[in-house]
A and B are shown apart, each in its own frame.
Chain A
Amino acid sequence: MANIAKKVSWSGRGDDRGERTPLLNGAEEVKYNNRQFSGGSIFHIGRLSTVDLEEEITPEESLDYDNSENQLFLEEERRMSHMGFGCLEIKRWVICGLIGFLTGLIACCIDIVVENLAGFKAILNVVRLSLTRLPDIEKFTEVGGLSISLILWAVLNSAFVMVGAIIVAFIEPVAAGSGIPQIKCYLNGVKVPRVVRLKTLVVKVFGVIFSVAGGLAVGKEGPMIHSGAVVAAGVSQGRSTSLKKDFKMFEYFRRDTEKRDFVSAGAAAGVSAAFGAPVGGVLFSLEEGASFWNQMLTWRIFFASMISSFTLNFFLSIYHKKPGELSSPGLINFGRFDSDIVEYNLYEIPLFIIMGALGGLLGALFNVLNYWLTIFRIRYVHRPCLQVMEAMLVAAVTATVSFAMIYFSNDCQPLGPDHNEEYPLQLFCSDGEYNSMATAFFNTPERSVRSLFHNPPGTYNPLTLGVFTLVYFFLAVWTYGLAVSAGVFIPSLLIGAAWGRLFGILLSFIASSQSIWADPGKYALIGAAAQLGGIVRMTLSLTVIMVEATGNVTYGFPIMLVLMTAKIVGDYFAEGLYDVHIKLQSVPFLHWEAPHTSHWLTAREVMSSPVTCFNQVDKVGTIVDVLSDTSTNHNGFPVVVHSPGSDEPGKLCGLILRSQLIVLLKHKVFVERASSRLTQRKLQLKDFRDAYPRFPPIQSIHVSQDERECMMDLTEFMNPTPYTVPQETSLPRVFKLFRALGLRHLVVIDGDNMVVGLVSRKDLARYHLGKHGLEELHLAQT
């Protein structure tokens, strides 16, 4: 049997073995039969101690990217003139411009604040440490000058991080981390709650500032992508529900389809602002997100990216008091590689590939370690106060480790004439020299990356680099996943640049006679690309981002090769970091393709059944009861016509969504009322849009006993032509429909157009290709 399917639970204890039960195995027929009658619970006998089946289930929602072409929609379309559509198009462009502008502005603010805070802190430390160099050093030693400065440093960092962690853990937990997994989910069609709210944006921005200022091993680039997405979601709606303010603008765009286009533009603008890579941003959106692409949308997204990059550039130039000098396109600036120094040769390509493999290995190690840590955190460190404490401890330990490394480092480098080291710290070095380890730790990570790329050969001691890589690697593993908002891009780049430079230095030792070609800066760049590729496993967009951020097209080919190798090697061992986290959050994420060996699965096996259906004209009481049934919490309901007198499921004639029903109930669109009072305003599509995106829960809608007896006519509001498939459709075919059309519900019908079942996103996301063939996951709730 080729396909041994297994059930794997993500929330199991360390050993999943006990819960792995073959799904399709002749010997397990009895069990299999049992499952048919007990709704699957027989499979979890071993888990009943930890899983409470009775609890209310409120899973994350999917987004409706499929347009409901009901009669209201047709009417509105008929009313709209040719001009109206032109106006819409113009509005789209305006919104994209605004998205770019605001994203760039936010990036600019973050950059300026972080720079000032980091500078302030470093100065404080330098002053403190340099106190020990005063003539009365004997006196200072008595009171323990160095250990006091160590403690001060740790406390200062912890204090910063504490503020950052408190606002994340207590105000908006979804703002934790880089936000890229969440945006990936959103673009994939899963609505992670509260992910695109204004509050999230505010928490995110302040969280980033504090965590970067707190000296954690984090970067501010990843959160920019999330920020861009939130800006996009907010601007395109023309209102903020957090602020309860409606600008009465852009009302047409208040639905999932349109919003998603803008969110992908926002994500692109975020990447563009973070790395100064407009094309990379567009490709990021393409690679990670949207499944619908057309030329106009891409062009608009590119426009948003460019505007964002330009805005950042412009405001930073004003900040640096050189208005109009547009030379700092991104938050991170890798500096320019001088093309004649850093050419690469054909014989270096194998070396690059080796580095790519190394990056893949290290990246996989990073992901595996972080995976274990995250599982531990989910299980044991889930209370907000514990999370804050953990973040503070990480900050304190980071400071301590840095201090210890600075203290024990013997790597002294002579001060350069132009002082490209911003905070040279002498400590135990001789006069006129500085401790290069201190520079590596005191600088912002971005600056360290840049100096690893560009400092002339001989600036770094191999031992320093080795120890730094090791320590920073573990710090970064430990830091990612804390309840602070911070990204993983810069730490990975820094780790990679450090070991890449080490690699380059060692190479020039080996090839001592012709050491010119082994320029360590070049290898630092390749190493950074390899490490980042090994961790996040992005391909196309990362290549372009690196090329754009370094401003060097010459390295396009090596970087591509390196990223390819890193991805291949890394995928062999572990998934990408973002995928790991998406999985741990139990999000029904649909990948590009259905699992390979799943053609034998048909819609009949995949679908949920029986389906709760409504009649074309149904009683209000029934609808309210179904909607308020907490155990099911369905979102889409097929509308059927019953053949009179039969007990069979009815013929499908449409599909209606929970949100639509709720709006209908709220406006009390009942048949009786319509016939009795002719003056009542006809419900328009606008009413549905106004309620978007936070439809009130069913509990908040009061329906009196009399009204329960009324009837509701759904004909006008339902989608009369939902997508359907016959029962024999294979899983990949269903999958393709979902992925390409962004479906939320797919009705399964039999030959007579009778509703047999309903496939939703969760039914598909369960299946994935594991080590033993097709496996079925149990999506857990977070």
Chain B
Amino acid sequence: MGLLIKCTFLTSCLFVWSLTLVKCTVYPPQVRGNGAINAHSPALDSESPALQARSLGYFYSLSLSSTFPDDLEVKEHCIEMLHIFGQRYVAYANCLVSYARPVKICQNCHTSFNSLVEMYTNISSDQLGPGNVSCHDTLMRSDRLMLLYTLFSKLNEIWTIAGCKRMSSENQDTLSNDTLYFMTSLNLSLTCFEKFQGNHSELCKDCKLSYKSLNELYGKMEENQTLCIDIEDSMNMTRRLWSKTFGCSFPREEIVPVIAVSCFMLFLPIIFYLSSFLHSEQKKRKLIHPNRAKSSSSLMNIQDKFS
């Protein structure tokens, strides 16, 4: 690989060098996606002024849709594919937006996503279509923008982050059994909530069973990693309803015993320190005394210095 890059680099260097050698005017080289320089360019030194004029003309006067030479033009067949891709793309994006809140994209958009993927795979495959041309290079790797790829990868990323793949069954067409079961369970809870709308204390008592089983199911799915954004979102909403709106969470309990035990614990060290202060004998520290010169001359010296 490294060798290849080196070779490419060397050839391009040679090419540039030869360009400068023949004192050619700067000609915009056609660069392909893989970085190799298009070698079969028109003859350089004879036609260069004319060529320059023509390339300038592209930028200033003519529209970009003007015709290229045959071999560079996109095939009919590919245009067709591009068109279909665009339609499916719009459909899918539309679906995503319309089910954004509350999130239901996995349930409702998987068909359009699947068709989009199918189209994209068609385009990106190296299969030769009619006319012996693969659309892969023409559509996807001709320019540095690589629009199709970017567009698709963004949407695909959304799908992956949402975890929608985990929700559908093996063949990607229908929802998995777990998901369906969860939906049923969720509906059960929500109906129950609906029933006791007015009376919160009743609701907390009567819907507890269904809510609890829903919670357990969710926990199990979390462990199995079969969650997707739809389920997570609906569970979040339900929990918020349960805890915040209906106030069915547990109240702070046992304030008195907890405070009592805490106070008892906090008093222990005070007792400990007091008792050790009062009852333990103080540790004596022994000082080490300097054993200094006893001649009085040194003393006189110090006194002289500071008097």
Interface residues of A (CB under 8 A from B): 1, 3, 9-11, 24, 26, 29, 32-33, 36-37, 39-41, 44, 47, 50-53, 55, 57, 59, 132-133, 135, 137, 141, 144-147, 150-151, 154, 376, 378-383, 386, 389-390, 393-394, 396-397, 399-401, 403-404, 407, 428-432, 586, 600, 602, 604-605, 607-610, 756-757, 762-763, 766, 778-782
Contacts and interface: CB of A to CB of B under 8 A. Distances in A.
Given A608-B290, A780-B285, A29 B276 contact: no
Given A145-B254, A386-B280, A389-B272, A51 B287 contact: yes
A3 B242 CA distance: 76
A407 B235 contact: no
A358 to B, nearest CB: 29
A146 B259 CA distance: 11
B61 interface: no
A57 B286 contact: yes
Interface string B231-262: 00001100110111000011111100110111
Contacts of A141: 253-254
Nearest to A600: B305
Contacts of B288: 57, 59, 762, 778-781
Nearest to A778: B287
B283 A605 contact: no
Interface in B262-307: 262, 265-266, 268-269, 272-273, 276-277, 280, 282-294, 296, 298-299, 301-303, 305-307
B287 A47 contact: yes
5 contacts: A146-B254, A397-B266, A400-B261, A586-B285, A762-B290
A602 B285 CA distance: 29
A29 B303 contact: yes
A380 B276 contact: yes
Contacts of A44: 287
Contacts of A403: 258, 262
Contacts of A431: 215, 239, 242-243, 249
B208 interface: yes
Contact of B294 (A400, A407, A609): A609
A51 B254 contact: no
A609 B291 contact: yes
B32 interface: no
Nearest to B288: A779
A607 B293 contact: yes
A397 B268 contact: yes
A151 B288 CA distance: 48
B235 to A, nearest CB: 7
B236 to A, nearest CB: 6
Contacts of B220: none
Contacts of B299: 32-33, 36
Contacts of B240: 430, 432
A53 B287 CA distance: 8
A432 B257 CA distance: 27
Interface string B51-64: 00000000000000
A33 B302 CA distance: 12
Contacts of A430: 239-240, 242-244, 249
B186 to A, nearest CB: 14
Contacts of A55: 286
User: Which of B208, B261, B268, B285 has the most chain A CB within a 10 Å cutoff?
Assistant: B285
A39 B287 CA distance: 13
B195 interface: no
Contacts of B257: 144, 146-147
A390 B280 contact: no
A162 to B, nearest CB: 14
B282 A604 contact: no
A147 B296 contact: no
B79 to A, nearest CB: 41
B212 interface: yes
A55 B289 CA distance: 12
Given A146-B253, A146-B254, A400-B266, A39 B260 contact: no
Contacts of B261: 147, 150-151, 400
Given A29-B303, A36-B296, A51-B286, A407 B268 contact: no
B283 A382 contact: yes
Contacts of B268: 393, 396-397
A394 B270 CA distance: 11
Contacts of B307: 26
B265 A428 contact: no
Contacts of B286: 51-53, 55, 57, 780-781
Nearest to A12: B285
B293 A432 contact: no
A52 B285 CA distance: 8
Contacts of A59: 288
Contacts of B287: 9, 11, 44, 47, 51, 53, 778-781
Interface string B19-33: 000000000000000
Contacts of A26: 303, 306-307
A397 B265 contact: yes
A52 B254 contact: no
Nearest to B222: A419
A609 B269 contact: no
Contacts of A3: 306
A390 B301 contact: no
A26 B303 CA distance: 8
B212 A135 contact: yes
A569 B306 CA distance: 34
Interface in B96-139: none
A150 B258 contact: yes
Contacts of B251: 428
A766 B269 contact: no
Nearest to B249: A430
A41 B286 CA distance: 13
B277 A757 contact: no
Contact of A781 (B208, B243, B252, B285): B285
A609 B254 contact: no
Q: Which 5 A-B pairs have the closest CB atoms?
A: A430-B243, A11-B285, A780-B285, A400-B265, A147-B257
User: Which of B258, B293, B294 has the most chain A CB within a 10 Å cutoff?
Assistant: B293
Given A397-B269, A609-B292, A380 B254 contact: no
Given A135-B212, A762-B288, A428 B262 contact: no
Contacts of B289: 39-41, 53, 778
A401 B242 CA distance: 31
Nearest to B242: A431
A40 B290 CA distance: 7
A432 B235 contact: yes
B290 A1 contact: no
Contacts of A407: 252, 258
Given A400-B265, A766-B290, A428 B283 contact: no
A428 B252 contact: yes
Contacts of B265: 154, 396-397, 399-400
B285 A51 contact: yes
Nearest to A430: B243
B269 A137 contact: no
Contacts of A609: 291-294
Contacts of B291: 39, 608-609
Contacts of B276: 380-381, 386
Nearest to B252: A428
Contacts of B235: 432
Contacts of A37: 294
Given A33-B299, A380-B277, A393-B272, A144 B254 contact: yes
Contact of A605 (B236, B266, B292, B294): B292
A589 B105 CA distance: 72
A60 to B, nearest CB: 10
A135 B298 contact: no
Nearest to B271: A393
A429 B239 CA distance: 11
Contact of A150 (B262, B272, B293): B262
A73 B252 CA distance: 78
A294 B290 CA distance: 35
